[in-house]
């Protein structure tokens, strides 16, 4: 079943077309990967989905309903779309406590839900689920490592019980051993909560591991889209091939002695 449908999406900034007639869909429960280099339009697309950037033309539908109507952003359900950014250093307000940070998205929800989810026990469970503990609730972001901060950002994203989360380079600023922890957490949360992900990354090995299908962006255009396996095994577009051949690879032993 299709959850998201982007049709002929265009975003024009003065003389730059950041997103150039992009069409794709995201199925419910899948992880859809968007890859491309800086300036390829990945984050522009994310911005239009969460309502930060108004599309110049084209449409985005979530569960059949248009997200943008006459220049206004309409949520089809409050808190249904969430986002986790690359740099938890700048995406968490340094003056807020963890409690304030992760309960902030509740503001848009009905009072009863708000009360239930800002309860200490609920928050303790949530923190535990993302690998932190309740003792962390009243601390500030600077007291945490990069990986822990990203866990806080993930807790903030799931507290509204979203259907869909945009993961915009969620592990690019992390050490590899921490990256593994965060990727595992994202995968297990997805299973538990039947989440749909849009995973944005420039890291092809992470994309290959996480995504069911992948779209490749180049200068604002989607030049290729495919199931992850076929895209990596048989890339059709010249740019995808270049991208894949540029990847440094951990050589296996056989390669060393050939």
Partner 1 sequence: MLLEINDLSVSFSSIHGTFHVLDQVSMHIGPGEIIGVVGESGSGKSVTALTILRLLQDNASIDSGKILFQNQSLLDLTEKEVQTLRGKKIGMVFQEPMTALNPTMKIGRQLANVIRKHRGVSKKEAAELAVRALEDVKIKDPEKVAQKYPFQLSGGMRQRVVIALAMSAPPQLLIADEPTTALDVTVQSEILKLMKELSQKKGTSIMFITHDLAVVSDFCDRVYVMYQGKIVESGQTGEVLSQPQHPYTRALIESLPEGKKKDEPLKVLEGEPFNLAERPAGCVFFERCPLRAERCRSTLPVVSKGKHHRVACWEADHDHV
Residues that bind partner 1 (CB under 8 A): 31, 37-38, 145-146, 175-181, 183-184, 187-188, 202, 204-206, 208-210, 242-243, 245-253, 256
Of the pair 9, 183, the CB lying nearest partner 1 is at 183
Of the pair 85, 239, the CB lying nearest partner 1 is at 239
- What's the min distance (Å) between Cβ of 249 and partner 1? 6
Helix crossing, 146-158 with 176-193: angle to 10°?
A: 10
Of the pair 96, 223, the CB lying nearest partner 1 is at 223
Which SS3 state, helix, strand or coil, does residue 44 take?
helix
- What's the min distance (Å) between Cβ of 176 and partner 1? 5
Of the pair 124, 180, the CB lying nearest partner 1 is at 180
Instruction: Round to whole Å and give the CA distance between 77 and 210.
Output: 26
**Closest of 117, 127, 172, 190 to residue 153, by C-alpha:** 127
Encoded tokens for 250: 């951990």
**Closest of 55, 43, 44, 42 to residue 9, by C-alpha:** 55
- What's the min distance (Å) between Cβ of 70 and partner 1? 37
- What's the min distance (Å) between Cβ of 22 and partner 1? 20
Which SS3 state, helix, strand or coil, does residue 116 take?
helix
Which residues pair with residue 32 across a beta bridge?
A: 198, 213
Of the pair 1, 257, the CB lying nearest partner 1 is at 257
- What's the min distance (Å) between Cβ of 26 and partner 1? 16
Instruction: Round to whole Å and give the CA distance between 90 and 208.
Output: 27
Of the pair 77, 208, the CB lying nearest partner 1 is at 208
Encoded tokens for 114: 């708000």
b/e code 92-116 from CB counts within 10 Å (16+ = b) = beeeeebbebbbebbeebeeebeee
Taking CA atoms, 11 is separated from 16, 46, 83, in Å, by 9, 12, 20
Of the pair 115, 242, the CB lying nearest partner 1 is at 242
- What's the min distance (Å) between Cβ of 241 and partner 1? 11
Ramachandran angles phi, psi of 59, nearest 5°: -135, 155
- What's the min distance (Å) between Cβ of 218 and partner 1? 10
Taking CA atoms, 104 is separated from 59, 139, 193, in Å, by 29, 15, 21
């Amino acid at each position: 079943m299709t959850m998201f449908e982007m049709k002929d999406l265009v975003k024009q900034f003065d003389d730059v077309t950041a997103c150039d007639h992009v069409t794709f869909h995201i199925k419910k429960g899948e992880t859809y990967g968007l890859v491309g280099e800086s300036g390829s339009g990945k984050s522009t697309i994310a911005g239009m989905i969460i309502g930060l950037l108004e599309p110049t033309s084209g449409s985005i539908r979530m569960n059949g309903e248009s997200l943008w109507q006459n220049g206004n952003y309409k949520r089809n359900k409050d808190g249904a779309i969430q986002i986790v950014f690359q740099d938890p250093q700048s995406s968490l307000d340094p003056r807020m406590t963890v409690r304030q940070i992760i309960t902030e998205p509740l503001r848009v929800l009905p009072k009863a839900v708000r009360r239930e989810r800002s309860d200490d026990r609920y928050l303790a469970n949530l923190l535990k689920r993302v690998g932190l503990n309740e003792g962390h609730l009243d601390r500030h972001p600077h007291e945490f490592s990069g990986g822990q901060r990203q866990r806080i950002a993930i807790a903030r994203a799931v507290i509204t019980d979203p259907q869909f989360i945009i993961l915009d380079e969620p592990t690019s600023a992390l050490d590899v051993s921490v990256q593994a922890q965060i990727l595992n957490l994202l995968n297990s949360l997805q299973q538990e909560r039947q989440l749909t992900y849009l995973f944005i990354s420039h890291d092809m090995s992470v994309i290959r591991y996480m995504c069911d299908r992948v779209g490749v962006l180049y200068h604002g255009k989607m030049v290729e889209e495919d199931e992850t396996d076929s895209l990596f095994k048989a890339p059709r577009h010249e740019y995808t091939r270049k991208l894949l051949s540029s990847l440094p690879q951990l050589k296996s032993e056989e390669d060393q002695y050939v």
